[in-house]
Structure 1
Amino acid sequence: MAQTDSGRMAKYRSKINSVGGQSGIEPALIAAIISRESRAGNQLQNGWGDHGNAWGLMQVDVNPNGGGHTARGSWDSVEHLSQAKEILVYFIDRISKKFPSWSSEQKLKGGIAAYNMGDGNVHSYDSVDANTTGGDYSNDVVARAQWYKRNGY
């Protein structure tokens, strides 16, 4: 899927690198979440996805019964990517505190899963993706990130 999205992803590359470069979050991971969430914008209608509940390339959850975030910036802007990156960092931090004995890689995967479904739904590393979309969210995002990393992100 990452390779399929690579042509569309190319137009966001400088924004992805800018946001990733200032945050400690690898640009490849940002690209991977964009690929998983919106297929590099291909599945959005006027910037919206998930039946109007999520905004932008990285699908920030604006549903008051979900993430409850306020959309920032246009759907493909640096401001949007920065907001989504901040949400991801927040969830990585929450998972790190919830599971202090997990390795860095496990905490990252837990944070990625929490980005999709909230940290209250992460109960153990063995079932980190049990409640995620498709039951494979963090594994899929990590696989896509590895592809994007190998391909210059």
Structure 2
Amino acid sequence: MLVATAKAPCSLRQTPAPHSPMCKLSTAFQGTCRDEKPLFRVLRKNHPMYPMLVLLGLAALLGASQGRTDCYGSVSRIKTTGASCKTAKPERLSYCGVRASQKIAEKDLNAMNQYKTLIKKVAEKWCVEPAVIAGIISRESHVGKVLKNGWGDNGNGFGLMQVDKNSHKPVGKWNSEAHLMQGTEILVSMIKTIKRKFPHWTKDQQLKGGISAYNAGPRNVRTYDKMDVGTTHDDYSNDVVARAQYYKKHGY
């Protein structure tokens, strides 16, 4: 908050004509000179209105950042090869690539929409695109459709985002906000690790690397073009990005 600096004595400043608008405004504030400008008076720290102005300023600052989900790049700008045939075949698709990823994402859309509000809420808290979270949920659990009592991966993965119990202690219910917060926190930590490992990559490249690391760990990410070698079906980030691009076009 900007606070007025020391001012010249009142007698040295121009006095407005009697009955002028400035004079009328001057009488509205106690403890100030009649000819002092209202703006300077309002900004005095000891003025009753000062705390309110500080709060309004903070609210404006918070409002400017509220709702941001672009801190770690955007899937819209990432080139992707989509799902491998190893991923597409179990989905009973006769084709592979981006088209296959989008078809799988489409199959999960109705179920995903049940969590849309929650996904967006978590995404804003972590400043990550909601579409990325949706893409991971689709890839990991088909929005819970393949889980048994919230567990998948032979009992090793928990919840919509399949938090690995061997590396993390799962929290909350399998489809809760607490679970999505934990899964997204893990994702963000992976993105940050990739950022430190490859500081010259663009934000979008680091985002893709973080998605790949979410599946196979940051050590598995060695080069940009071959980051998915060693992930499940060797296509994890490419498939998730393609699904995320689909969800972004559908309001995520």
TM-score range, shorter chain: over 0.9
Aligned residues between the structures: 149
Are 2:144 and 1:45 equivalent residues in the alignment?
no
Deviation at 1:6, TM superposition (A): 0.4
Are 2:164 and 1:61 equivalent residues in the alignment?
yes
Tell me which structure has the larger Cα radius of gyration.
2
Aligned equivalent of 1:95 = 194
Q: Which amino acid aligns with 1:137?
A: Y
Q: How much identity, in percent, do the aligned residues show?
A: 55
Larger RCO, structures 1/2 (Cα 8 Å, 6+ apart): 1
The 1-side partners of 2:248 and 2:208 are apart by 16
1:138 to 229, 232, 237: 237
TM-score (norm 1): 0.95
The 1-side partners of 2:168 and 2:125 are apart by 22
Deviation at 1:16, TM superposition (A): 0.4
**RMSD of equivalent CA atoms:** 0.7
Deviation at 1:149, TM superposition (A): 0.5
1:17 to 98, 103, 120: 120
Deviation at 1:101, TM superposition (A): 1.1
Pairing of 1:105-116 with structure 2 (within 5 A): 105-116=204-215
Are 2:168 and 1:82 equivalent residues in the alignment?
no
Deviation at 1:144, TM superposition (A): 0.6
Q: Which amino acid aligns with 1:77?
A: S
The 1-side partners of 2:172 and 2:158 are apart by 10
Give structure 2 stretches of 5+ with no counterpart.
1-103
Q: Which amino acid aligns with 2:204?
A: E
The 2-side partners of 1:137 and 1:94 are apart by 18
Deviation at 1:49, TM superposition (A): 0.5
The 1-side partners of 2:230 and 2:177 are apart by 29
TM-score (norm 2): 0.58
Compare the two structures and name the one with the higher helix fraction: 1
Deviation at 1:82, TM superposition (A): 0.2
The 2-side partners of 1:106 and 1:131 are apart by 18
The 1-side partners of 2:192 and 2:241 are apart by 18
